[in-house]
Chain A
Amino acid sequence: MAVLSYIQAVTEALKEEMKRDDKVFILGEDVGPKGGVFRATDGLYEEFGEERVLDTPLAESAIAGVGIGAAMYGMRPVAEMQFADFIMPAVNQIISEAAKTRYRSNNDWNCPITIRAPYGGGVHGALYHSQSIEAMFANVPGLKIVMPSTPYDVKGLLKASIRDEDPVLFLEHKKAYRLVKGEVPDEEYTLPIGKADVKKEGNDVTVISYGLCLHLALQAAEKLEKEGFSVHVLDLRTVYPLDKEAIEEAASKTGKVLLITEDNKEGSVMGEVAAIIAERCLFDLDAPVQRLAGPDVPAMPYAPPLEKEFMIDLDTIESAIRDLAEF
């Protein structure tokens, strides 16, 4: 088993799928000879050529639109948004076209496109390079939103997304790209979209999270373990549609639930998770469901102290878990 970084897992998955299926191709800004601003497509242009790794103009609506058209004609496009913040011009294509193609055509057409986009803060990206945008798409049936936290999940889920017969929004945390490393099997594998994953078993407090925050939750859990608190950690992995059974099971296990997201608190996907718990787990709950999230301010500030204030950190998570455990 090789230890890969989060972004290496992305590249590996892309490479393997392109090798496996001629119909898989990449399009996006600077994805070609440059290999992407984060180097996610590094080496792919050289290996697969300019017809399968297409540099596009600065026009996200066109990247999405071209990809959607190609997908409807039987190709397997992987469209890259350079930053998730830039996805806004493509929203109409994604929501009104990609997500609705199968339904609108009464199953005659489908749209197997994968749209990759790096999201999230903590990298001094300021207003336009730090946003979490999942909540905006997490109300659109027909679309799937995958947000993996580990290299293993990245590879297995990206491959599954490319093979999926319908559009998938694949969001990668940009701070995790080189920060998070993990073991990835050498052999071929995919992981099921729409399934959450228990990252750690415990019975005092349940933490449900995804993306970069999940790692902070695991670190906090490990620290608290030494104090005698046993923390159960569930990784959503897919934030839309949610794995309701897994959420129910994890919440019922301890009755004390902490939901963590980096997104702005109000209207984040965690509100939906809390609603699922409220609907299904009332008689197992032992404490009010708690949310840890970014503040409800318009954007991530550039100034480091303010950026730090915005981001969820280890101490905040640790004290929130302890607070619930002692409740």
Chain B
Amino acid sequence: MAKAITMPQLGESVTEGTISKWLVQPGDKVKKYDPIADVTSDKVNAEIPSSYTGTITELIAKEDETIEVGELICYIDVGDTEENYSSDSQHKAPTQEKEVSEQAKHEPSMKNRYSPAVVRLAQEHDIDLKSVQGTGRSGRITRKDVENIIQQNKEIPKKVEDERTESVAPSPPQHVNTQHSHNISVGTNDEKIPVRGVRKATAANMVKSKQEIPHAWTMVEADVTDLVNYRNSIKEDFKKKEGFSITILAFVIKAAAEALKEFPDVNAVWGGDHIIRKNSVHISIAVAADDGLYVPVIRDADEKSIKGIAKAVSELAKKGRNGQLTIEDMQGGTFTVNNTGSFGSVQSVPIINHPQAAIMSLESIIKKPVVMEGDMIAIRSMVYLCLSLDHRMLDGLTVGRFLARIKEKLEDVQHFKGHIY
């Protein structure tokens, strides 16, 4: 009995996934829950488990193809094993479906089986083979197909010049709302980089946030001289004892988590026609990796000590660099803290992490001459805290108070001294 396996729901707000690698081939026997494919979805890599025990008969989705949730990815012949029967007896696979899959087995698709000549020509002429319609047996792309495209492409630029219009070489249609700029021409010295995976997800989210959310922006300056001195005094001992560093970011997250408890309006998400005030404080932090930006979450940050937060930051950053972040790690954030100072920024206007209400960035700590009480000038370690807010949910007053509270906490080092452990 042939069963269809579809793209599973891989997490909240995930609508599609890209099969990055098939782990099975037609004819492979798999057990229920065995991984059958690697999939890249919104920001993470995950494995698709088999829904049944049986033999894979046909792979429908191609590697690097983006499939919507619920769409067919492969067929599996489950035989008549009881395990599958009992769990899924309500929808019986039509016999026709089996015939189709068996027919397909005799003629496996050759669409992605490239000859050396095809690969070489595609590389030399920068042709995306995914966009080429093969005329060979079982859809194979032949050398002639590629040569014809090269010939066509030679003719296209001439036409473009004649008509004085801008156009790119034929590219596959991509149904993403992040692509409004189709009419940008690719010059001969330019490199065309396909947008997929994390970059595509980031692009989609940023456009959504920026288009949907009315952003407002505010900034405060905090004197963190005492905090810096305190952290420097415990830094080495802490590292020796715990094996990871205690960073200023950990103190700032702690201060933000406490302030969020005091200002629950900021710890909220937009629900369309209502605002959802979140009880738990889950802080999203930005982690840079080679392939893009990930935003994992420190859960219940308000309940953690500074050490606990520092540890979470260190672990999430490590996972991000190694590409090990899971969907679980990324979900449920209620407020975002971004350490833009880590790459030298002194001011930034962050884009809100949809559907949260606000995002705060911690800028570089800079030593400045500051006028102190009694009109003395002193050299102090100063830092800007920048915050973007969703003006549908929040107003300047609430946010101003929220930021002032964080500033107050950061400037009063006594406040932290009992909370390291």
Contact = CB atoms under 8 A, between A and B. Distances in A.
A285 B142 CA distance: 10
Contacts, number: 32
B369 interface: no
Interface in B140-199: 140, 142-144
Size range of the chain B interface in the assembly: 10 to 19
A283 B137 contact: no
A286 B143 contact: yes
A326 interface: yes
Nearest to B146: A286
Contacts of B104: none
B120 A283 contact: yes
A327 B136 contact: yes
A275 interface: no
A283 B136 contact: no
A326 B120 contact: no
B271 interface: no
B133 to A, nearest CB: 16
B283 to A, nearest CB: 53
Contacts of B142: 286, 327
A35 interface: no
A256 B142 CA distance: 10
Contacts of B418: none
B37 to A, nearest CB: 29
A285 to B, nearest CB: 5
B144 A287 contact: no
B250 to A, nearest CB: 55
A282 B115 CA distance: 9
A204 interface: yes
A326 B116 contact: no
A97 interface: no
Interface string A258-301: 00000000000000000000000011111100000000000000
A286 B137 contact: no
A326 B136 contact: yes
B137 A326 contact: yes
Given A204-B144, A327-B142, A285 B115 contact: yes
A327 B144 CA distance: 11
Which has the most chain B C-beta neighbours within 10 Å: A254, A282, A283? A283
Contacts of A326: 136-137
B20 to A, nearest CB: 27
Given A204-B144, A255-B143, A327-B142, A285 B137 contact: no
Contacts of B136: 326-327
Nearest to A256: B143
Contacts of A256: 143
B117 interface: yes
Given A255-B143, A327-B136, 6 more contacts: A255-B115, A284-B120, A285-B116, A286-B117, A286-B142, A326-B137
List the 4 closest A-B pairs by CB distance, nearest first. A286-B143, A283-B120, A286-B115, A286-B117
12 contacts: A255-B117, A282-B116, A283-B116, A283-B117, A283-B119, A285-B115, A285-B117, A286-B142, A287-B115, A326-B136, A327-B136, A327-B140
Interface of B: 115-120, 136-137, 140, 142-144
